[in-house]
Amino acid sequence: MRAETKPKTAVRYALSIIFWLAVWQLTASAANRGLLLKIPLPTQTLRAFFENCARAEFWSAVGSSVLHIICGFLSAVAIGVMFALFSAHSSVFRALSAPVMHLVRSVPVAVFIIIAWLWIPTRILPSCISCLMVMPIIMSHTEAALCAIDEKLVEMARVFGMKRVDILLKIKAPLIAPGLRAGCITGLGIAWKSGVAAEVICNPTGSIGALLQGAKTAIDYEQVFAVTLTVVLLSLALENVLKIVWRERKR
């Protein structure tokens, strides 16, 4: 099958969004009319969203959440790459780290949030949770790329007198870049979701999670949907920024 052009893909994506907005509109109208559920209409959600955009405290909360989650994500990338290098070159480290990585992947994020909350201050908890959830993803992608490198290529570089640092930067780094890029794109979404979840549970002042928790406590349906829309839009924006900044070069 031939790959679709970007305009066709964009049109198809836009039509799918319109379809699900129509489903939302019809479902909400039917539920509200039958008094089954209180579901805000798309127009009501958008109105609440734009009202939020006009408030300075809303942008302060958005900036605080983005800063903490990005810090956690960048820490996860640094630690994940470092651990991948250790694991790819040390069978002892790989054996010791395997149970821990499996534990992080299998235990629900809410459990880690509650446990971490016992010792970690509320203001930095979202960063720590984002880092913890993303680090195994970065590590696994980077380690897989490192293990796929042809050792004959590395050995040839050594024969020609290349230093270890040059081998790492000039040979290994370009080869692991595509895998690391894929891990970062996947991990950024995980960081955002887990970070906001931590904010909702520990409720730090001046954060998106606190806005969501406050709207839920006040039973403000429009505000809950509007803040959720903010989370979705920010997640998409950050992911696309990462893709633009780190474009995969075609060979």
Per-residue pLDDT reduced to its tens digit, 174-189: 888 888 888 898 899 8
Query: Measured between alpha carbons, how far is 141 from 183 in angstroms, rounded to an integer?
Result: 6
Q: Is residue 204 part of a domain?
A: yes
Q: Is residue 9 part of a domain?
A: no
Whole-model pTM?
0.84
**What is the reported pLDDT for 250?**
43
Whether residue 163 has pLDDT greater than 80: no
Helices (H) and strands (E) in the chain, counts: 11, 0
Q: Is residue 26 part of a domain?
A: no
Query: Measured between alpha carbons, how far is 84 from 184 in angstroms, rounded to an integer?
Result: 14
Whether residue 168 has pLDDT greater than 90: no
**What is the reported pLDDT for 221?**
86
**What is the reported pLDDT for 1?**
43
Residue range 214-233: mean pLDDT, rounded: 88
Q: Model confidence over 80-127: pLDDT tens digits?
A: 999 988 888 888 888 888 888 888 888 888 888 998 888 988 888 999
Largest Cα–Cα distance of the chain, in whole Å?
Answer: 77
> Could you say which DSSP state residue 167 is in?
I
Residue range 50-60: mean pLDDT, rounded: 91
Length of the chain: 251
Residue 237 backbone phi and psi in degrees, to 5: -65, -45
Q: Is residue 5 part of a domain?
A: no
Whether residue 242 has pLDDT greater than 90: no
Closest to 48 measured CA to CA, from 175, 246, 229, 241: 229
- Residue with the bigger pLDDT between 76 and 90: it is 76
List of long-range contacts for 107-111, beta carbons under 8 Å, 24+ apart: 109/133, 109/194, 109/197, 109/198, 110/197, 110/201
**What is the reported pLDDT for 77?**
93
Q: Is residue 64 part of a domain?
A: yes
- Which of 6-20, 87-101, 125-139 comes out lowest in average pLDDT? 6-20
Whether residue 230 has pLDDT greater than 70: yes
Closest to 106 measured CA to CA, from 98, 95, 94: 98
**Domain tally for the chain?**
1
Instruction: Count CB-CB contacts under 10 A for residue 49.
Output: 19
Q: Is residue 100 part of a domain?
A: yes
Q: Is residue 33 part of a domain?
A: no
Residue 129 belongs to a domain with what CATH number?
1.10.3720.10
Instruction: Evaluate the CA torsion angle 209, 211, 216, 221 in order and state its sign.
Output: negative
**What is the reported pLDDT for 127?**
92
Whether residue 158 has pLDDT greater than 80: no
**What is the reported pLDDT for 34?**
59
Query: Measured between alpha carbons, how far is 24 from 237 in angstroms, rounded to an integer?
Result: 23
98: containing domain: 42-245
